[in-house]
Structure 1
Amino acid sequence: MTQLNLLAELRKLNGRVIAPGDAEYDAARTVYHGGIDRRPAAIARVANAADVARVVSLARETGLELAVRSGGHSPAGYGVSDGGIVLDLADMKRLDINVEQRTAWAETGLTAAEYTAATAPHGLATGFGDTGSVGIGGITLSGGVGYLVRKYGLTIDSLLAADVVTADGQLVRADAESHPDLFWAIRGGGGNFGVATRFLFRLHEVGAVVGGPLILPATAEVIAGFIAAADAAPEELSTIVGVMPAPPMPFLPPEQHGRLAVMALMAYAGPVEDAQRVLAPFRALAAPIADLVRPVSYAEAFLPDEPGYHPVTTAHSMFIDTFDLDTAETILDHLRGATASFAVAQLRVLGGAVARVPVAATAFAHRQRRIMVNLVAFYERPEERATHEAWVADFAAALRQDEGSAYVGFLRDEGAARVHDAYPGATWARLAGVKARYDPTNLFRLNQNIPPAG
């Protein structure tokens, strides 16, 4: 099929088509992460599930690579193809909230911030990540680790059903009774099995949370003490800890800028009157450099977006189970030796509701792991990439406590072995079997790919 014929077919859709040469083409092909410069043959801003099915069928018929984009935050840049078709869900934003049943049907072009802003007036929420501009499609299919993770579990633990367009262009409902194998697989297995057009989520009572940044000096004792306190805290408290050079934020003393600090994002979703008692062990670790933890709406807990910000990074995702002073010293030693423009070791203590779901219940197979780690180096010049990749690899090797593990939502384009690390044990074989049933030709391959069994 020629380029003109492809565009002619796509223009029969209810949605919009953006082609090379169009005024909005460059903006439409830009994804969140920088350093990704791919030029798709066409971008289809689909309007509904019928459009999705037609685009999937066109990709199958033409053999063109298909990129599926919700919010465009894939660290590997899988939301855009070079020479293929981009199926962009950004215009599919319908949200139907059932307050009495505490459920919501949400189209997958919605961002976490848009969904949360709409459910907040009802005192209800579903847990996503920590950044509002992330699309609910990608984060849900990956698992979803955010501010409510210890209290209400992963995003997929609130997923009740999904409408999915499979590789044959059919729209199916996946839930516990209908296509249960597909429902199991999409809860953590990524975009390997189809295009999710709608999700049915469970809503939870979430009003004000006590949250915000707590910034402490970065000593081994403080870091190890913070992880121990987070592990021992009530499940209503979830934390995201970044050990990093303190950025030049206006609320930080100038003498702290550039010095290593513990930049912790706190989110306590329990009774507000109990928050000070719950947070006291963290504040007792050291005199805070800054303490902006306060009652806020859950929607305010999301990190603010920076328009036009497209970071170039290399990173390594992993899980660990023990953390002591030596682990903290290892983190500090590697950060002191970083040559990147900015480097961070991010630590998320899990447990709570995540660990109560059986490992085999979903494709997210790391439920019994204690801490999720993400090591990131930011840089500007492409020629620096190899240097920073080597630093990240050395850092990861120094912290590794298993043969290899990863959270699929944080993986870059790191090769097949790292995708295996995201799906250990029997999970991989089961996912490959589901892939063979729903996508035997691997049409959905621009992702952290799981080839079909056989």
Structure 2
Amino acid sequence: MTTSTPILDHKLLDRLRGAVRGDLVEPGDPDYDEARKVYNAMHDKRPAIVVQAVDAGDVIATVDFARDQGLTLAVRGGSHSVPGYGTCDGGVVLDLGRMRGIRVDPDARTAWVEGGCTWADVNHATHAFGLATTGGVVSTTGVGGLTTGGGMGYLARRCGLACDNLASVDLVTADGSFLTCTDEQHSDLLWAVRGGGGNFGVVTSFASRLHPIADILGGPTFYPLDADVIRRYRELVAESDERLGALLVVGLGPPVPFLPERWHGRPLCGVVACWTGPEAEDDRIRERLDALGPVVGRHLERMPYPVINTLFDDLVPAGLHHYWKGAFTQGLPDGVIDAFVEYGPTTPSIQSVTVVFPIDGACHRVRPEDTAFSYRDADFSIALSPTLTTREECDAHKGWVRAFHGALAPHSMEGGYVNFMDGDDQDRVGANYRGNLARLTAMKRHYDPGNLFHLNHNIAP
């Protein structure tokens, strides 16, 4: 699916070209089709220009250009935005993918990370010092989008959300200002970036706090899809040390060597564990997982922390077609478990995994008003996604995920995690930010009154 692409005035483009060190990619250039691609193949947009920035100066010049010309601006980091907010038709794409610098201070336990980095970049750099921080479950995910939305992952129970570990950010606002935001200066913007998404500007670098985590016990344990297994999982999380990260997955058995062939494509549930405690307690963790139900497959072993962040990479490469919905729950109510058991067997593909993230522990030690991410009373965050190889298949299964989400709704909280929302969830923005919405709206009105940064789960000024 394509649309006609406006051609920008060459004098204007020459002016922009003279202001940036990176590359400008236009329609008709040999690498245009590659430059406009995003992770979710549902979005086949044709921007008028893609700016491949290499530094903050390029970001400022591009923001000024888009604003002054009245053009739509899409900001792309890791390109994983499921609603496709990293691209647009006829506007400007600001691609941060070449801004991948990282500096680690092991004594201060801090990493300075440029806005185009992925979690693979961060994990590689920090692991050299025996350090880590919360960041996703797919290594190709961008640091920027995940962190500014809140940031869930294996380490959340022990270390908090990714946004909770932010010490500062460098931010380019809609008027082209470059601001370093800390708890001491421009603290309102640091507050907003901690969960408010891309509404307030372009983060060119993040300073994140690190934790002494090197090797872990990690990997999946699979069971037949059964309500009793999930209830025991619920008890496991409620009773376990915060050093145990334990994601629940519901879907169809993947064709992996540690799962017997008779379970390939059959309904399963699984727990992807990440134990950051001492190796001497590994056997106790295995016993706790054994007690959840009959184990039909397992790949649970000691590994460097960065490895666990890659386990789903091959399952969901770039170029598939995605449509998502999300929900928060307090506890894991029986009605939610019943919905997992009802909809799990009709999961449309092996890639369409329902994932449940525990967000208790350290996440609960932050007050709702302390960050833009307000759901500090939620215990779990649920991601639903039909993920298919073609647009037609994905469109055909949107009804499945909407019905699944509808079955969860009576047992869920009103809002959901913004990074699990699709483009048709804009009406949920108020519920997603709850009591923080008024403050966020006032800040949006101050820092971006023209709503230049509107390609996101938008907080309208």
TM-score for the superposition, normalised by structure 1: 0.95
- The structure-2 alpha-carbon separation of the partners of 1:268 and 1:195, relative to structure 1 and needing over 3 Å to count, comes to same
Asked if 1 retains the 8 angstrom alpha-carbon contact of 2:200 and 2:444, the reply is yes
The equivalent residue for 1:422 is: 432
Asked if 2 retains the 8 angstrom alpha-carbon contact of 1:231 and 1:349, the reply is no
Q: State the one-letter code of the partner of 2:388.
A: Y
CA distance in 2, matches of 1:415, 1:316: 8
Q: State the one-letter code of the partner of 1:274.
A: E
* One of 404, 417, 420 as aligned partner of 1:410: 420
The equivalent residue for 1:33 is: 40
The equivalent residue for 2:11 is: 5
* Offset from partner CA, 1:263-299 (integer Å, 9 cap, x none): 3211111112112213422211223112211111111
1:310 and 2:327 correspond:
no
CA distance in 2, matches of 1:6, 1:137: 29
Q: Superposed, which structure 2 residues align to 1:268-347 within 5 Å? A: 268-304=275-311, 305-306=313-314, 309-338=318-347, 343-347=352-356
Deviation at 1:181, TM superposition (A): 1.0
Partner of 2:200, secondary structure, is coil
TM-score for the superposition, normalised by structure 2: 0.94
Deviation at 1:448, TM superposition (A): 0.9
Could you tell which deviates more after superposition, 51-60 or 342-351? 342-351
Asked if 1 retains the 8 angstrom alpha-carbon contact of 2:250 and 2:353, the reply is yes
Deviation at 1:161, TM superposition (A): 0.5
The equivalent residue for 2:162 is: 155
CA distance in 1, matches of 2:189, 2:235: 37
Could you tell which deviates more after superposition, 98-107 or 341-350? 341-350
Partner of 1:374, secondary structure, is strand
CA distance in 1, matches of 2:353, 2:97: 30
Q: How many residues were matched structurally?
A: 451
Structure 1 residue ranges without an equivalent (≥5): none
CA distance in 2, matches of 1:267, 1:166: 37
Q: State the one-letter code of the partner of 1:416.
A: Q
Deviation at 1:442, TM superposition (A): 0.4
Q: State the one-letter code of the partner of 2:414.
A: G
The equivalent residue for 2:3 is: none
Q: State the one-letter code of the partner of 2:290.
A: R
Asked if 1 retains the 8 angstrom alpha-carbon contact of 2:330 and 2:379, the reply is yes
1:354 and 2:355 correspond:
no
Q: State the one-letter code of the partner of 2:199.
A: N
Deviation at 1:80, TM superposition (A): 0.9
The equivalent residue for 2:74 is: 67
Note the aligned Cα RMSD (angstroms). 1.8
CA distance in 2, matches of 1:47, 1:315: 31
Q: Taking every aligned residue pair, what percent have the same amino acid on both sides?
A: 37
Deviation at 1:380, TM superposition (A): 4.3
Partner of 1:151, secondary structure, is helix
Asked if 2 retains the 8 angstrom alpha-carbon contact of 1:234 and 1:278, the reply is no
Deviation at 1:303, TM superposition (A): 2.3
The equivalent residue for 1:190 is: 197
CA distance in 1, matches of 2:78, 2:212: 26
Partner of 1:204, secondary structure, is coil
* Offset from partner CA, 1:91-130 (integer Å, 9 cap, x none): 1122121111111211111111111101111101121111
* Offset from partner CA, 1:64-107 (integer Å, 9 cap, x none): 10010110000101111111111111111221211111112111
1:447 and 2:456 correspond:
yes
Asked if 2 retains the 8 angstrom alpha-carbon contact of 1:221 and 1:325, the reply is no
* Offset from partner CA, 1:357-383 (integer Å, 9 cap, x none): 111100001111011111222334544
Partner of 1:248, secondary structure, is coil
CA distance in 2, matches of 1:443, 1:174: 20
- The structure-2 alpha-carbon separation of the partners of 1:434 and 1:226, relative to structure 1 and needing over 3 Å to count, comes to same
Partner of 2:441, secondary structure, is helix
CA distance in 1, matches of 2:14, 2:84: 27
The equivalent residue for 2:88 is: 81
The equivalent residue for 2:4 is: none
Deviation at 1:341, TM superposition (A): 7.2
The equivalent residue for 1:433 is: 442
Partner of 2:386, secondary structure, is strand
* Offset from partner CA, 1:111-154 (integer Å, 9 cap, x none): 11111101111101121111111111111111110111000000
Structure 2 residue ranges without an equivalent (≥5): 1-6
CA distance in 2, matches of 1:313, 1:50: 34
1:390 and 2:390 correspond:
no
Deviation at 1:157, TM superposition (A): 1.1
CA distance in 1, matches of 2:153, 2:420: 13
The equivalent residue for 1:201 is: 208
